[in-house]
Structure 1
Amino acid sequence: MRIVALVENTCGHEDCIAEHGLSIYIETENHKLLLDTGQTDAVVKNAEVLGIDLSAVDTVVLSHGHYDHSGGILSFSQINHSAQIIMQKSAAEPHYNGERYIGIDTDILKLPNIQLIDGDMELDDELFLFSGITGRRCYPQGNKKLSCIKNGEKVCDDFCHEQCLVIKQNGKRWLLSGCSHNGILNIIDRYREIFGNAPDYVITGFHMMKKDGEHTEAEKTVIIQTAQELSQLDTVFYSGHCTGIPAFEMMKDIMRDKLIALHSGEEIL
């Protein structure tokens, strides 16, 4: 198995591009796949630097319907015409941060290999997709600014368009979620409903980044409580992107070697 942080906010390879976005490249016994494609064509450029052949990718999973995870799909599709690109059908809805559009480029929906699904999907013995995350404990506070259009009306985003990828390999399970907008504790609760126990490894952003000033006490409480509960699991977490450096450092103080930073261009495994 091979896993590479192909695109991430921070740079881990001097020749790779870092941007506000996320893309994870994975090779399993039977697949070559991407979770998300970052914000721009950096996914293609970084793959070239790292010697990763994107034309051999057979599956792209879009974790949710935001531009910083879907922005490289059109560039990717210029060199790979056959990979199935799987997203929840609600990921195609318009999404906003305040008045700013943050949804996917609608040209993506015109691609012939797009597969819109509704709910969970078992691709094969290695790959499983799940959504349906309804819990709200330690819910990321940044979600309050995010909305979407449903039935012609702008409403608070409920993140039903978020899906998680589970990879089974060598007797271990990896859980991958782009941003954990639904809250990583609620995602793990949903995972347990399906698989019975916690995953061995998790790759995700925690959506705790604060762009306008310091975290509030309420935000700090969510960050600390989340880290305390995660530290009790026999799970290793790889995180970056929307977690934000201050939140990551707070969580690292609690989780220690159970939390590892992601960087653009770095091999995870």
Structure 2
Amino acid sequence: MKIVTLVENSCGNENCIAEHGLSIYIETEKHKLLLDTGQTDALIRNAEALGIDLSAVDTVILSHGHYDHSGGILPFSKLNHTAQIIMQRLAAEPHYNGERYIGIDTDILKLPNVRLIDGDMQLDDELFLFSGITGRRFYPQGNRKLSYLKDGVKTEDDFMHEQCLVITQNGKRWLLSGCAHNGILNILDRYKELFDSYPDFVITGFHMMKREGEHTEDEKAVIIQTARELSQLDTVFYSGHCTGIPAFELMKEIMGDKLIALHSGETVI
């Protein structure tokens, strides 16, 4: 198995570029796939620099319907016309941060290889997708500013368009979530319902991003408690993007070697 961070907010390879976005390249025994595609064509430039052939990708999983995870789909589709692009049907709905549109480019929906799904889906014995995360403990407070159009009316986003990818490989399970808008603990609760265990590895943002000194005391308490609960698991977490450096550093103090930073151009395994 091979996992490479193609796009991330920070750069770990001088030949690659960073942007506010996320894209993970994965090779399994049966697949070459992408989780998310970043904000621009940065994934293409970084893949070229790293010697990764994106034309060989067979599957693209969109974790949720935001521009910084979907923006690379159209540039990617010019290189690769055959990879199935799987997203929750609700990811196609308009999404906003205040008045600013942050949803996907609607031209993506015109691609013939886009597959809109509803809920969980078993792709094969390696790949499983799940959504339906309804728990709200330690829910990221940044979500309160985010909305979507429901019957033409702006409604606070419930992130039913968010899906997580589970990869089973060599007796281990990897859980990948783009931003964990539903809250990583709620996502892990849903995972445990499905698999009666916890994953061996998790790659995710924690959606806790703020600049130094901007977190409220309540937000710090959520970050600390989340890290404490995660530190009790026999799971290694790789994180970056929407986690933010101040939150990551606070969690790292608690989680130690169980928390590892993601950077553009670096190999995870």
Short-chain TM bin? over 0.9
In structure 1, what residue type is equivalent to 2:53? Answer: D
Q: Is 1:221 the equivalent of 2:216? A: no
CA distance in 2: counterparts of 1:196 and 1:6, whole angstroms? 31
Kept after mapping to 1: 8 A contact 2:212/2:246 = no
SS of the residue 1:4 aligns to: strand
CA distance in 2: counterparts of 1:8 and 1:150, whole angstroms? 31
1:186-206 alpha-carbon deviations (Å, 9 max, x no partner): 000000000000000000000
SS of the residue 1:173 aligns to: strand
CA distance in 1: counterparts of 2:143 and 2:8, whole angstroms? 21
Aligned-residue offset at 1:212: 8.7
Partner of 2:90: 90
Q: Is 1:231 the equivalent of 2:258? A: no
- 1:60-139 → structure 2 map (5 Å cutoff): 60-139=60-139
Q: Is 1:206 the equivalent of 2:206? A: yes
In structure 1, what residue type is equivalent to 2:109? Answer: L
CA distance in 2: counterparts of 1:250 and 1:122, whole angstroms? 36
Partner of 1:7: 7
- 1:246-257 → structure 2 map (5 Å cutoff): 246-257=246-257
CA distance in 2: counterparts of 1:35 and 1:9, whole angstroms? 15
Aligned-residue offset at 1:81: 0.2
CA distance in 2: counterparts of 1:78 and 1:172, whole angstroms? 34
1:67-93 alpha-carbon deviations (Å, 9 max, x no partner): 000000000000000000000000000
CA distance in 1: counterparts of 2:199 and 2:155, whole angstroms? 33
Distance 1:62 1:199, change over 3 A: same
Partner of 1:167: 167
What RMSD over aligned residues (CA atoms) do the two structures have, in Å?
Answer: 0.7
Q: Is 1:141 the equivalent of 2:125? A: no
Kept after mapping to 1: 8 A contact 2:8/2:262 = yes
SS of the residue 2:189 aligns to: helix
CA distance in 1: counterparts of 2:105 and 2:60, whole angstroms? 16
Partner of 1:188: 188
Q: Percent identity?
A: 82
Q: Is 1:32 the equivalent of 2:27? A: no
Over 4 Å off, 4+ runs: none
1:131-171 alpha-carbon deviations (Å, 9 max, x no partner): 00000000001001100001111000000000000000000
Aligned-residue offset at 1:214: 1.3
Mark the runs of 5 or more structure 1 residues left unpaired by the alignment: none
